[in-house]
Amino acid sequence: MERLQKVIASSGICSRRKAEELIKQGKVVVNGQIVRELGTKVSYADTIEVNGKNLNQEEKEYILLNKPRGVVTTTNDEYKRKTVLDLIETDKRLYPIGRLDYDTTGALILTNDGELANLLTHPKNHVDKTYIAKVKGLVNKSDILALRTGIKMDNYKTSKAGARIISYDKKTDTSIVEITIHEGKNHQVKNMFAAINHEVIKLKREKISFLNLKGLKSGEYRYLNIKEVKKLYNEAKKN
Ligand code: URA
């Protein structure tokens, strides 16, 4: 569910502020009823009319991108850095689901389906994200146990995670660790490793739920098929 003014604005007919004005003026009808309440939540399945015209909702598009390093996940960067949208050719108003840091690579979904975006990012829906982290130092069994059971951060404790050591390179004194989390706090993986004194040097998201990067080189993307979209909905709703 999304706020009505957001759904109207994301259809492209006007700005969010203009949508708020139209709602207040009683010019927006949802499922046959005038709605004047700004916070009203609607789903993309609701019928919305603005100024007597059916809201022309964009056809939904779903993209899986293998995000390269050095690109931001915001749609409009204040420092004018390259964004993930610069990598994609589309006439739709897509936005990324969740965030990857500037220097993090890997799987990122972009869509104009606000309902799926909400479902996949809501903390109560446990959607697994799997990362491969290259970190400084030798990660030992007690580190892995700490990652698995949850780590106390400044103002919260991380949920149980999947974690396993893949390898250790004595020459560079670095470890490769696979970690699976379902939360999406800012810099979460880096902060979890920092809390156990292993700085992350490289981070790649290998998987979002069942979606992996097979066939996608860095910077490449593909469209999800309807089966995959349905499966994502089911994965997010099953918890
Ligand atoms: N955790 C991080 O620390 N960074 C990311 O980009 C994603 C997860």
Residue whose CB lies within 8 A of the most ligand 1 atoms, among 72, 101, 158, for a mutation test:
101
Nearest atom (ligand 1) to Cα of 104: 6
8 A C-beta contact, residue 100 and residue 145: no
176 Cα: distance to centroid of ligand 1 (angstroms)? 15
Of 7-11, 30-34, 50-54, 84-88, which range is least confident? 7-11
Nearest atom (ligand 1) to Cα of 99: 6
pLDDT, tens only, 39-62: 899 876 788 999 988 886 678 899
> Which residue has the least CA distance to atom 4 on ligand 1?
187
| Matching residue, tokens 């969740």 | 98
Task: State residue 44's pLDDT score.
Answer: 65
Task: State residue 136's pLDDT score.
Answer: 98
Residue 11: Cβ within 10 Å count: 18
The type of residue at 213 is L
Residue 237: Cβ within 10 Å count: 9
Residue whose CB lies within 8 A of the most ligand 1 atoms, among 134, 190, 201, for a mutation test:
190
Task: State residue 154's pLDDT score.
Answer: 84
The type of residue at 137 is G
Residue 89, pLDDT above cutoff 90: yes
> Which residue has the least CA distance to atom 2 on ligand 1?
187
Of 1-5, 70-74, 221-225, which range is least confident? 1-5
Known catalytic membership, residue 103:
no
146 Cα: distance to centroid of ligand 1 (angstroms)? 18
pLDDT, tens only, 173-209: 999 999 999 998 999 999 999 999 999 999 999 999 9
Lining ligand 1 with CB less than 6 A are 100-101, 104, 187-190, 203
Choice among 77, 101, 113, 128 that is catalytic? 101
What's the first-to-final CA gap in the chain, in angstroms? 17
Task: Please state, in angstroms and rounded to a whole number, the distance separating the CA atoms of residues 29 and 48.
Answer: 6
22 Cα: distance to centroid of ligand 1 (angstroms)? 39
187 Cα: distance to centroid of ligand 1 (angstroms)? 4
pTM of the model: 0.81
Q: What is the DSSP letter of 152?
A: B
